């Protein structure tokens, strides 16, 4: 286990060290102590390593992650796992605004609540939230899956493309072009896998969720749908 004291050694040194890792490294387990809400912790990691952050983080923790498994033993500020490409990011506490924004792959797990715009413009990432999510979540989401064990705020899935949204609790309102859809057997199988990978299969069953997706009326401009824009 490699232990890095962020307070003593500094953020630039941390990220430079992590960026220097490669697929051949034998330094595969890292622990970051004294994060004290610092921003941009472990951004741009591109190696199959396990990183544990012992405390809460600021903006953009684990942004642009590739391959790594990063767990935050606390809460995360805005933009956690922003533009994530692959790997896994697990937040043991809550996440602030736009968690998983523009994510292209990998898995983001939030064991507490997520604030507004969770999964905004997601492009392939899978997000599992054990608690609730705020307003405008999955805005302009293009692909991937968002699973919410709690409730969803206003305008869920506004201007949605082809992302799959699964909500167990209530939805305050749906955004433009987002509708409830039938839960078919293939969706139950997909959801069961996401719950297992998201460390939530002991908390909920696939049959307890409702599925939401795009009505596909906003892909191209149509004068008959002008009121929806």
Using an 8 Å Cβ cutoff, are 44 and 21 in contact? no
pLDDT digits (tens, 9 = 90+) for 147-187: 999 999 999 999 999 999 999 999 999 999 999 999 999 99
The tens digit of pLDDT for each residue in 60-83 reads 999 999 999 999 999 999 999 999
pLDDT-derived band at 229, boundaries 50, 70, 90: low
**CA dist., res. 81 & res. 119, Å (int):** 10
Chain centroid to Cα 171, Å, comes to 19
Mean pLDDT for all residues in the chain: 95
Secondary structure (3-state) at 30: strand
How far is residue 169 CA from its own chain's centroid?
A: 18
Q: How much of the chain, in percent, has pLDDT values that exceed 90?
A: 90
SS3 assignment, position 28: coil
The three-state secondary structure class of 17 is helix
Buried/exposed 112-137: b ≥16 CB within 10 Å, e otherwise: bbbbbbbbbbbbbbbbbbbbbbbbbb
> Is pLDDT at 219 greater than 80 in this prediction?
no
Average of per-residue pLDDT across 8-37 = 91
Are 91 and 70 within 8 A, CB to CB?
A: no
Residues 205-217, mean pLDDT to the nearest whole number: 95
The region of weakest confidence among 17-21, 84-88, 153-157 is 17-21
pLDDT at 228 over 80: no
Confidence of residue 224 (pLDDT cuts 50, 70, 90): confident
Q: What is the pLDDT of residue 171?
A: 98
Strand partners of residue 99: none
pLDDT mean over 92-114: 98
Residue extents of the structural domains in the chain = 1-71, 97-229
The neighbour count for residue 21, using CB atoms within 10 Å, is 19
pLDDT at position 212 over 90: yes
The pLDDT assigned to 115 comes to 98
Half-sphere exposure in the Cβ direction for 151 (13 Å, CA) = 7
DSSP characters over 79-147: TTTTT--SSEEEESS-B-TTTTTT--SSEEEESS-B-TTTTTT-EEEEEEESS-B-TTTTTT--EEEEE
pLDDT at 217: 85
Residues in the chain: 229
Instruction: Return d(Cα 95, Cα 146) in angstroms, integer.
Output: 15
Give pLDDT, residue 117. Answer: 98
Query: What pLDDT band is residue 84 in, cutting at 50, 70 and 90?
Result: very high
Tell me how far CA of residue 140 lies from CA of 63, 67, 112, 115, 137, in angstroms. 20, 26, 23, 17, 9
Residue 4 has a pLDDT of: 96
Percent of the chain exceeding pLDDT 70 equals: 95
Q: Report residue 226's pLDDT band, with 50, 70 and 90 as the boundaries.
A: low
pLDDT grade for 221, boundaries at 50, 70 and 90: low
β-sheet bridge partners, residue 213: 179
């Amino acid at each position: 286990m490699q232990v890095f004291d962020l307070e003593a050694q500094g953020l630039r040194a941390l990220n430079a060290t992590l960026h220097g890792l490669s697929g051949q490294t034998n330094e595969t387990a890292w622990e970051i102590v004294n994060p004290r809400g610092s921003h941009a912790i472990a951004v741009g990691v591109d190696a199959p390593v396990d990183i544990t952050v012992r405390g809460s983080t600021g903006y953009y923790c684990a942004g642009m992650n590739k391959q790594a498994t990063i767990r935050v033993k606390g809460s995360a500020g805005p933009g956690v796992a922003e533009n994530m490409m692959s790997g896994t990011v697990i937040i043991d506490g809550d996440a602030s605004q736009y968690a998983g924004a523009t994510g292209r792959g990998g898995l983001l797990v939030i064991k507490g609540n997520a604030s507004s715009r969770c999964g905004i413009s997601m492009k392939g990432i899978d997000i599992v939230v054990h608690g609730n999510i705020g307003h405008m979540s999955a805005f302009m989401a293009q692909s991937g899956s968002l699973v919410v064990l709690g409730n969803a705020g206003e305008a869920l899935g506004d201007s949605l493309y082809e992302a799959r949204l699964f909500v167990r609790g209530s939805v305050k309102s749906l955004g433009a072009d987002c509708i409830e859809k039938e839960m078919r057997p293939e969706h139950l199988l997909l959801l069961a896998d996401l719950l297992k990978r998201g460390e939530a299969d002991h908390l909920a069953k696939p049959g307890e969720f409702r599925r939401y997706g795009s009505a596909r009326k906003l892909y191209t401009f149509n004068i008959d749908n002008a009121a929806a824009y």
